[in-house]
């Protein structure tokens, strides 16, 4: 049976915890919906609750991000646009998704660690410093920024609306969105 649905696109928004990934994901989602383009956000904290991943060691992260990439692949194959709102501290996690999803863009929210630690809305860095959290990217776990991101957003200097406009422009340039949107 042949599918007549155009594949969806996927945006992986990566960066340190508290870099501004979720704020950007919301701003891009709002902008896409304003232009009648549907999108589903796969937010790592919410998805981890569904998967029931209590621990977050390297093996668990590998399984989790592999599963997340697979879900994104299936959704995009069925014409559903996806935003991954997930740190994915290892390049390999994001590269796996890029290999599986033909219309894939990686957006790096590049925010200095000190700024992320000051923001710390979920108390992740505080927990890491106190020893309650063992694998915080930027503290105990390495964060591997993309080598060739499709777009870099400076989360400490750019406002969400301008950043979302940059993402929309990139989607148009890569012909993932109509140029007249």
Residue 140: predicted pLDDT: 87
Q: Report the C-alpha gap between 76 and 100 in whole angstroms.
A: 10
Q: Which residue has the tokens 């989602």?
A: 29
Label residue 15 exposed, middle or buried (CB < 10 Å: 0-12, 13-18, 19+). buried
In a domain, 5, yes or no: no
Residue 54: predicted pLDDT: 65
Q: 85 to each of 5, 26, 50, 129, 178, how far by Cα in Å? A: 25, 9, 15, 24, 23
Residue 1: predicted pLDDT: 45
Containing structural domain, residue 41? 10-173
Q: Report the C-alpha gap between 64 and 84 in whole angstroms.
A: 13
In a domain, 90, yes or no: yes
CB 122 within 8 A of CB 133: no
Do the strands 104-109 and 82-85 form a parallel or antiparallel pair, or are they unpaired?
unpaired
DSSP state at residue 179: T
In a domain, 135, yes or no: yes
Q: Report the C-alpha gap between 161 and 29 in whole angstroms.
A: 11
CA 150 to chain centre: 13
In a domain, 181, yes or no: no
Q: pLDDT 10s per residue in the chain (181 long)?
A: 455 678 999 999 999 999 999 999 999 999 999 999 999 999 988 898 887 766 667 788 889 999 999 999 999 999 999 999 999 999 999 999 999 999 999 999 999 999 999 998 888 899 888 888 888 898 888 999 999 999 999 999 999 999 999 999 999 999 998 877 6
Cβ partners under 8 Å of residue 94, min gap 6: 12, 14, 65, 88, 106, 146
How many folded domains does the chain comprise? 1
Residue 3: predicted pLDDT: 53
In a domain, 122, yes or no: yes
Q: Report the C-alpha gap between 45 and 29 in whole angstroms.
A: 18
**Domain CATH number, residue 35:** 3.40.50.300
In a domain, 61, yes or no: yes
**Where do runs of H (alpha helix) occur along the chain?**
21-34, 44-51, 58-77, 91-100, 113-119, 124-130, 160-173
Residue 59: predicted pLDDT: 84
CB 12 within 8 A of CB 107: yes
């Amino acid at each position: 049976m042949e599918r007549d649905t155009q594949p969806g696109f996927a945006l992986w928004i990566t960066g340190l915890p508290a870099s501004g990934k979720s704020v950007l994901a919301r701003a891009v989602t709002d902008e896409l919906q304003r232009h009648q383009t549907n999108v589903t956000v796969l937010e790592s904290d919410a998805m981890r609750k569904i998967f029931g991943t209590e621990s977050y060691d390297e093996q668990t992260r590998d399984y989790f991000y592999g599963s997340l990439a697979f879900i994104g692949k299936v959704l995009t194959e069925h014409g559903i646009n996806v935003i991954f709102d997930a740190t994915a501290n290892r390049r390999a996690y994001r590269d796996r998704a890029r290999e599986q999803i033909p219309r894939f863009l990686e957006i790096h929210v590049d925010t200095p660690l000190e700024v992320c630690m000051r923001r710390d809305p979920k108390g992740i860095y505080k927990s890491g410093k106190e020893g309650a959290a063992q694998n915080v990217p930027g503290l105990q776990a390495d964060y591997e920024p993309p080598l060739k991101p499709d777009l870099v957003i400076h989360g400490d200097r750019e406002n969400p609306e301008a950043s979302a406009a940059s993402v929309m422009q990139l989607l148009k340039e890569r012909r993932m969105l109509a140029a007249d949107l």
